[in-house]
Amino acid sequence: MTKLKPRPEWTDARRIVVKIGSALLVDRATGRLRATWLNSLGDDVAALAAAGKEVVLVSSGAIALGRHGLGLPKGALELEQSQAAAAVGQISLSAAYREVFAARGLAVAQVLLTLGDTEERRRYLNARRTIDTLIAHKCIAVVNENDTVATTEIRYGDNDRLSARVASMITADCLVLLSDIDGLYTAPPGSRPDAVRLDEVRAITPEIEAMAGDAGSELSRGGMKTKVEAGRIALGSGIHMVIASGKALHPLRQLVEGAPCTWFVASNDPVAARKRWIAGQLVPAGTVHVDAGAEKALLGGKSLLPAGVVRIEGAFGRGDAVVIKSPTGMELGRGLVAYDATEARQIAGKKSGEIAAILGHAGRAELVHRDDMVVGRG
């Protein structure tokens, strides 16, 4: 392969999240770990760490390893089967990483997250502090979804989006998605010989979404669709992302040396971390419908006052993320709400000066403060 100049998105990155797909880690035929490959990844990560980069891994493979351990049949698993498989497989997965990194003088930590850990601000801050502390101690955090307790409603379901949320949470500079395909193609490359790989994507347009299709392989849940979703989260957070093939040995070194891939390049607009997090919320807890006057105020950069609220939906708590909708039902923005749903219903349509009398205690004049709000989210 001809050596290309490494891209600045990579060379300038200090904090890097690397997502490793199940298909790379686990041999499809035997259900066993691909030890040689994992060792080559260990070399690459150790080299990055030695160069002063902070690397966090998001690794799939628990279910793929565990289903073999439990002797489960091929094909789709029931939720409880995949939860049980993850419980078994996660041990082998962590043990394998520990062994590989110990041989290279690096400590490893297992971090299992559920959806709420990145979506609820308090838990998000907590998880971020933990990972930051691990990084400060030069420990390689290996993150996965806590599949054993994740149920259908409260799961990411795929590690592509999880890795993007983690990258956003810890304000990484670059997210690498290593999978069995070397980038985003204009059409599914297997079935369409005219498909062309894109070198660079700068925005998730409807055309890009249309290219993503659905297909995933048997071992991994995410297809190109979830990778493009991850791209949306990453770019929305000002983080560069790259989709690269991890099939060959030393996948990160290959990437630096110019292996084919697709870069999702973030613009440099400085967006506050809090607003980024709000913009990337996957599961808002409720909806606040506002009147035309409030719509105008929000679009003009003002806070949302209770007086402009016509209806509240959902059972959110104080500090949760809500969607704000216009009188025509259009999403105006998202924000963190200063009152819980019960209180919000009581003060909806009322003047801020009446809040204390209605609720029996004084609170913020705004239902959603403009600092806690992102208006005009894509």
- The window from 95-103, 131-139, 140-148, 244-252 that contacts ligand GLU (CB under 6 A) reads 140-148
Q: How far apart are CA 347 and CA 305, in angstroms?
A: 10
Q: Strands, E, within the chain: which ranges?
A: 15-20, 54-59, 107-113, 139-145, 174-179, 200-201, 240-245, 261-264, 286-290, 309-314, 321-325, 331-336, 373-375
Q: Does 54 bind ligand GLU (CB under 6 A)?
A: no
Interface pick for ligand GLU out of 119, 147, 182, 366 (rule CB under 6 A): 147
Q: Does 63 bind ligand GLU (CB under 6 A)?
A: yes
CB-nearer residue toward ligand GLU: 87 or 373: 87
Amino acid letter, 232: R
Within 8 A by CB and 6+ apart from 114, the residues are: 145, 146, 149, 150, 154, 155
Per-residue interface string for the shown chain with ligand GLU, residues 279-298, x marking contact by CB under 6 A: --------------------
Q: Exposed, middle or buried: residue 187 (CB in 10 Å: 0-12, 13-18, 19+)?
A: middle
Q: Does 221 bind ligand GLU (CB under 6 A)?
A: yes
CB of 242 to ligand GLU, least distance (A): 17
CB-nearer residue toward ligand GLU: 54 or 145: 145
Give the chain's length.
378
CB of 283 to ligand GLU, least distance (A): 18
Token code pair at residue 254:
């290959």
CB of 299 to ligand GLU, least distance (A): 38
Interacting positions 2-41 with ligand GLU (CB under 6 A): 22
CB-nearer residue toward ligand GLU: 241 or 344: 241
Q: Does 182 bind ligand GLU (CB under 6 A)?
A: no
Q: Are 56 and 131 spatial neighbours (Cβ–Cβ below 8 Å)? A: yes
Interacting positions 312-371 with ligand GLU (CB under 6 A): none
Q: Are 155 and 149 spatial neighbours (Cβ–Cβ below 8 Å)? A: no
Positive or negative CA dihedral for 123, 126, 127, 128?
A: positive
CB of 313 to ligand GLU, least distance (A): 31
Interface pick for ligand GLU out of 16, 46, 64, 278 (rule CB under 6 A): 64
- The window from 57-65, 73-81, 103-111, 134-142 that contacts ligand GLU (CB under 6 A) reads 57-65
CB of 317 to ligand GLU, least distance (A): 28
Q: How far apart are CA 239 and CA 173, in angstroms?
A: 5
CB-nearer residue toward ligand GLU: 52 or 73: 73
Q: How far apart are CA 13 and CA 228, in angstroms?
A: 21
Report how many residues bind ligand GLU under the rule CB under 6 A.
15
Query: Which residues pair with residue 200 across a beta bridge?
Result: 263
Name the residues that contact ligand GLU, by CB under 6 A: 22, 60-64, 86, 144-145, 147, 158-159, 220-222
